[in-house]
């Protein structure tokens, strides 16, 4: 069986924000890889560091951020860039990221599209400009814009509106179209279904899945576990700045190994519909050991030491007391 080399390999990514009286531990020692044709979902409660991961990869963090680790982007010759086959995104200059990476190799669907759209340009002007900047001739850019709008579920007539005239869901679809226009090999989709009703959520997810089936890669950042289950090849569960479990989607949903993963699944309406007990810790005051221990029924004195990632079943997890299949297999009503 042929093994496909990763398109992106993130190793030891750590992000800290320095405040006047505290340090925010936004992302800690994150390891992740994405292969061509693969859709990886990163899930977890709000504030765990998911969006910071995407912004760190594109150099979109504020000036008080400190970033360490590496994020190697492996680009084949002929991909339209002059850099070497392996490019460390975390070491790139702002100029290099702006001219060679953002939008060209790595696209971003932002979590808050209304704040990322130019308010004095119509959706059509933004989309046509993006298409022309990436090789479309003037004569066919308008038709291509209409096709892209239709692909994301947006009426092409709505492209003639300004961002303030669009609903939240329409702005989200326009932002998705803008991210897809350059056809980047890697797409970072940060909560791309915000503001959409369920049919449009499914439409957007299926669009991302088709991109992967055609050979592109997608990192889907979402709090929607149902969305992850629908389209992801694997799911990375993030808690309090760390990935605590990463496994193939089917394996994770059938038998999660980390108590936090199991608790997230139990909160789904089609499962136990039981909220995760307690609250996550402040990222400015993380415990020394396992950050989930205070909310976990399986915690012991061993959890005062930070667990390390180990192989478990089909995936990897960081837990001193991984759950047995029989313990955490969800009970789905007949």
pLDDT in tens, 200-226: 999 999 999 999 999 999 999 999 999
Tell me: the pLDDT tens digits for 219-272? 999 999 999 999 999 999 999 999 999 999 999 999 999 999 999 999 999 999
| Separation in Å, CA 219 to CA 63, 191, 207 | 25, 10, 13
**pLDDT tens column, 108-128:** 999 988 788 999 999 999 999
Query: What percent of the chain has pLDDT above 90?
Result: 84
The pLDDT of residue 75: 78
N-to-C CA span, the chain: 38
Q: Which residues pair with 30 in a beta bridge?
A: 13
* DSSP state letter for 157: G
pLDDT band of 330, cuts 50, 70, 90: very low
The span from the CA of 180 to the CA of 130, in Å, is 10
- Give the chain's mean pLDDT: 91
Residue 4 pLDDT: 82
| pTM (2 d.p.) | 0.92
pLDDT exceeds 50 at position 106: yes
Q: How far apart are CA 76 and CA 23, in angstroms?
A: 39
Residue 113's pLDDT is 87
pLDDT of 311 reads: 86
Residue 36 reports pLDDT greater than 80: yes
Where are the extended beta strands (E) located within 167-255? Answer: 186-190, 217-221, 234-239, 242-248
Q: How many CA atoms lie within 13 A of 100 on its CB side?
A: 17
d(CA 133, CA 122): 17
- Cα-flanking dihedrals φ and ψ of residue 195, to 5°? 80, 5
pLDDT at 82: 45
């Amino acid at each position: 069986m042929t093994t496909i080399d990763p398109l992106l390999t993130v190793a030891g990514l750590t992000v800290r924000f320095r405040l006047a009286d505290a340090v925010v531990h936004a992302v800690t020692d994150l390891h992740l890889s994405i292969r061509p044709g693969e859709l990886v979902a990163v899930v977890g409660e709000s504030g765990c560091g998911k969006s910071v991961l995407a912004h760190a990869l594109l150099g979109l963090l504020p000036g008080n951020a400190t970033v360490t680790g590496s994020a190697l982007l492996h680009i084949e010759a002929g991909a339209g860039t002059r850099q070497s086959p392996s490019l460390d995104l975390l070491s790139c200059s702002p100029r290099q990221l702006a001219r060679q990476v953002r939008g060209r190799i790595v696209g971003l669907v932002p979590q808050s599209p209304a704040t990322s759209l130019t308010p004095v340009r119509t959706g059509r002007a933004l989309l046509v400009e993006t298409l022309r900047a990436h090789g479309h001739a003037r004569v066919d850019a308008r038709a291509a814009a209409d096709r892209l709008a239709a692909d994301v579920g947006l009426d092409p007539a709505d492209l003639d509106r300004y961002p303030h005239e669009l609903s939240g869901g329409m702005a989200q679809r326009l932002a998705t179209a803008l991210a897809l226009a350059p056809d980047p090999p890697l797409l970072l989709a940060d909560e791309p279904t915000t503001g959409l009703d369920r049919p449009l959520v499914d439409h957007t997810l299926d669009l991302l899945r088709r991109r992967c089936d055609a050979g592109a890669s997608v990192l889907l950042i979402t709090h929607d576990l149902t969305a992850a289950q629908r389209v992801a090849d694997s799911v990375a569960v993030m808690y309090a700045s760390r990935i605590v479990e990463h496994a193939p989607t089917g394996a994770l949903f059938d038998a999660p190994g980390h108590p936090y993963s199991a608790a997230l699944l139990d909160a789904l309406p089609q499962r136990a519909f039981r909220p995760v007990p307690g609250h996550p810790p402040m990222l400015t005051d993380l415990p020394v050991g396992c950050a989930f221990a205070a909310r976990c029924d399986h915690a012991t004195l061993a959890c005062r030491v930070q667990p390390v990632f180990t192989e478990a079943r089909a995936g990897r997890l960081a837990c001193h007391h991984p759950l047995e299949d029989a313990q955490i297999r969800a009970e789905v009503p007949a």
